[in-house]
């Protein structure tokens, strides 16, 4: 959609921040605005998992409830784990944003992380729920297909995953420079202490054990 403004005047009392700072305003809203998308996605994931749980608890296949199938139980458990991971990441990002603001580097990192991780992860959760529900999960009788399409669209509309992960990685390397663990390096090996050489003779007891193992 395109909107053309002709002969438009805005009173100075209604100007936010200042003339020419519109992009700055929009950038300032991207953090809190986008985190709302993630919150809604978590709710959609919960709704889809609830619908899938109802399906597996009540549907029988080959004379047995789906809820007794180990693979189905594992899928349900993984969906719960993924949703909780998303919830905790969003909670931490929102908490940092409230306390430190959007310009804090670690806050920006968390915001970029949830923008990429939550839509991608919830899309996977919804996909699993659709699989557990079969044809019903793909129909308009359930919210799953719409939730799947919404999550997939958000991964592009909210900025490509690659852009957000690039920001996360760049900030992570900057923070690692200040990390107290940086510089510890690998364990140092004392090469002067030799436990055993390959040319050392093998004892008769060890040879007997090797012979017995080779016959297994």
Query: What is the tens place of the pLDDT at every residue in 150-183?
Result: 999 999 987 899 999 999 999 999 999 988 888 8
**Does residue 70 sit within a domain?**
yes
* pLDDT at res. 185: 79
**Does residue 59 sit within a domain?**
yes
Q: Which residue has the higher pLDDT, 206 or 82?
A: 82
pLDDT category, 193, cuts 50, 70, 90? Answer: confident
Calpha distance 137→149 (Å, rounded): 12
Say yes or no to pLDDT of 30 above 70.
no
* pLDDT at res. 11: 87
Nearest of 93, 108, 117 to residue 170 by alpha carbon: 108
Enumerate the β-bridge partners of residue 64. Answer: 61
Q: What is the CATH number of the domain that holds 40?
A: 1.20.140.10
Helices 144-157 and 105-133 pack at an angle, to 10 degrees, of 150
**Does residue 89 sit within a domain?**
yes
**Does residue 163 sit within a domain?**
yes
Q: What percent of the chain has pLDDT over 90?
A: 56
**Does residue 212 sit within a domain?**
no
Please, what is the average pLDDT of the chain? 90
3 state SS of 63: coil
**Residue range(s) defining the domain that contains residue 103:** 33-176
Nearest of 113, 97, 93 to residue 166 by alpha carbon: 113
- Please identify which residue in the block is written with the tokens 């998303």: 86
Calpha distance 100→102 (Å, rounded): 7
* pLDDT at res. 28: 65
Total structural domains within the chain: 1
Say yes or no to pLDDT of 27 above 80.
no
3 state SS of 215: coil
| Mean pLDDT confidence for 141-156 | 93
Enumerate the β-bridge partners of residue 65. Answer: 60
Enumerate the β-bridge partners of residue 180. Answer: none
pLDDT category, 29, cuts 50, 70, 90? Answer: low
Q: Which residue has the higher pLDDT, 86 or 179?
A: 86
Q: Are strands 60-61 and 64-65 parallel, antiparallel or unpaired?
A: antiparallel
């Amino acid at each position: 959609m395109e909107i053309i403004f002709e002969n438009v005047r805005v009173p100075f009392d209604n100007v936010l921040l200042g003339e020419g700072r519109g992009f700055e305003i929009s950038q300032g809203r991207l953090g809190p605005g986008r985190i709302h998308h993630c919150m809604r996605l978590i709710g959609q994931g919960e709704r889809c998992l609830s619908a899938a749980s109802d399906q597996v608890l009540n549907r029988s296949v080959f004379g047995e409830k789906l809820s007794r199938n180990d693979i189905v139980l594992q899928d349900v458990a993984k969906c719960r784990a993924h949703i909780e991971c998303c919830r905790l990441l969003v909670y931490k990002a929102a908490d940092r944003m409230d306390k430190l603001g959007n310009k804090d580097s670690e806050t920006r990192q968390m915001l970029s992380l949830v923008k990429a991780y939550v839509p991608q992860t919830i899309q996977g959760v919804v996909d699993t729920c659709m699989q557990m529900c079969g044809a019903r999960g793909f129909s308009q009788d359930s919210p799953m297909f719409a939730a799947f399409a919404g999550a997939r669209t958000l991964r592009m509309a909210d900025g490509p995953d690659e852009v957000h992960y690039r920001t996360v990685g760049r900030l992570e390397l900057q923070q690692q420079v200040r990390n107290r663990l940086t510089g510890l390096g690998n364990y140092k090996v004392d090469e002067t202490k030799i436990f055993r050489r390959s040319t050392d003779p093998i004892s008769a007891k060890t040879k007997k054990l090797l012979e017995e193992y080779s016959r297994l």
